[in-house]
Amino acid sequence: MIIGIDGNEANIKNRVGVGQYAFNLFWNLYKIDTKNKYIIYLKNQPLDDLPLEKEGWTYKVFGPQKLWTKFTLPLHLFTQKEKLNLFYSPSHYSPQFCPCPTIPTIHDLGYLQFKNQFNKKDLYQLINWTKNSIKKAKHIITVSKFSQKEIEKIYNVNSKKITVAFNGVDEPPKISQKIQKQVLNKFKILEPYFLFVGTLKPNKNIPFLIKSFSLFLKSHSSTTLVIAGKKGWLFDEIFKTVKEEKLENKIIFTDYINETQKWTLYQNAISLIIPSTYEGFGIPAIESLRVGTPVIASNIESLKEVLGEGSLFIDPNNPKDLCLKMTLIIDSKNRKKYSALGLIQTQKYTWANTAKSVMEAFDKTSCIIKP
């Protein structure tokens, strides 16, 4: 098959979320798939860390960039000489029009439940473009059984039309003690710390985390909370809560972190905390567990599915519950227990497995379109 892919999510420097998913998936398709040919479509020249061109893997770069997915890309697909068997989008947005079957990856539908957490422009695009992508798709990929059930229910999609390709996690890089110390010094981390990793946005429930940490400090004053991630949207309440709780000297905001910084922070934390009110999967949880750092997570359906018995769970509306679990996890015996359970849980989450599941979805679709 000749498969077209929208590569723009992977072709950005500071990758988080969908960008991280697309980048890792590309590299594993590049390594594993020897039978299909791929054409990667981009607005800009490919970055140096994307796979190099080879037979069966080529890039096409073109503009104009404005309304690229809605008009520029479809026009190119209809006029190019290559005839694609299918077109795949690692994000929610398939081309507005396409001469071949399409497959999007629908990561989650949180925007439908928390509409007040998005600005009007982003919400309009998420609702309408996602709906259009699902309606026109020959097949759909998603990242968890939780998200699969939501897609089936909300969009009335047959389960046979959806493939679950769980997110993966890289093997942690080996980082010298010297480099790790430099990272910790850079962020002025001088005490044992709890860690949050993710974009600063409403569903991450960070004000709740800050209030819970303030409660925890009353009995454990020699700890710090590190919040690692770039600003997303509607984040003013986070910084307002820090001031209200008078925690300016106990909470460290790193902004965007690179891979070395991220893995260093995971490896040296007491525990990662994911207090989200909604997640489609929760990649940071698996990354943290992969290096043996325990996870405290919200008891929402998606995180319970992904983490199984390998983590501690909390009510994301009860600060006392989180405070209690933080107290439990600072005990070395409990940390050792949940570290071991977490490592077992992470073994099935690899990007190679993700790529294999995506390839299976391609094969299912190819059977549908064969004459």
Q: Structure tokens of 31?
A: 């390594």
3-state class (DSSP) for residue 88? strand
Write out the E strands in the chain: 2-6, 37-42, 57-61, 86-89, 102-106, 140-142, 162-164, 193-197, 224-228, 251-255, 271-274, 295-298, 312-314
- What's residue 87's pLDDT? 97
DSSP string, 306-335: HHTTSSEEE-TT-HHHHHHHHHHHTSHHHH
Q: How far apart are the first and last CA of the chain?
A: 13
Together in a domain, 130 and 243? no
Angle at 37 between CA 31 and CA 39, to 5 degrees: 100
Cis peptide before 192 (omega within 30 of 0): no
- Looking at residue 237, its amino acid is E
pLDDT digits 0-9 by tens, 159-215: 999 999 999 987 899 999 999 999 999 999 999 999 999 989 888 999 999 999 999
CATH number at residue 194: 3.40.50.2000
Task: Assess contact for 280 and 91: CB atoms under 8 A.
Answer: no
Angle at the Cα of 350 (from 346 to 352), degrees rounded to 5?
Answer: 160
Question: Do 144 and 190 lie in a common domain?
Answer: no
Q: What's phi and psi for 236, nearest 5 deg?
A: -60, -35
- Dihedral Cα 239, 240, 246, 252, nearest 10 deg: 0
- The token duo for 112 is 């439908």
Question: Does residue 242 share a domain with residue 119?
Answer: no
Q: Say yes or no: 14 and 149 in one domain.
A: yes
Do 117 and 203 fall into the same domain?
no
Do 199 and 233 fall into the same domain? yes
pLDDT of residue 348: 86
Q: What is the extent of the structural domain holding 63?
A: 2-168+351-369
Do 162 and 220 reside in the same domain of the chain? no
- Nearest CA to 367 out of 164, 148, 85, 20 is that of 85
Contacts of 119 (CB under 8 A, 6+ apart): 233, 234
Residues 117 and 209 in one domain: no
**Secondary structure E strands in 12-85:** 37-42, 57-61
In this structure, which long-range contacts are made by residues 260-263, counting pairs with CB atoms below 8 Å and at least 24 apart in sequence? Answer: 260/173, 260/175, 260/179, 260/183, 261/183, 261/186, 261/187, 261/228, 262/197, 262/228, 262/287, 263/172, 263/173, 263/175, 263/287, 263/291
Residues 66 and 203 both lie in one domain: no
What does DSSP assign to residue 250? T
Number of domains the chain contains: 2
One domain, residues 154 and 206: no
Quote the pTM value: 0.85
Q: How far apart are the C-alpha atoms of 271 and 266, rounded to whole Å?
A: 8
Same structural domain for residues 327 and 289?
yes
Query: How many Å apart are CA 154 and CA 132, to the nearest integer?
Result: 13
Residues of the chain with pLDDT under 70: 367-371
Q: Are residues 118 and 187 in the same domain?
A: no
2 is written with which tokens? 């000749």
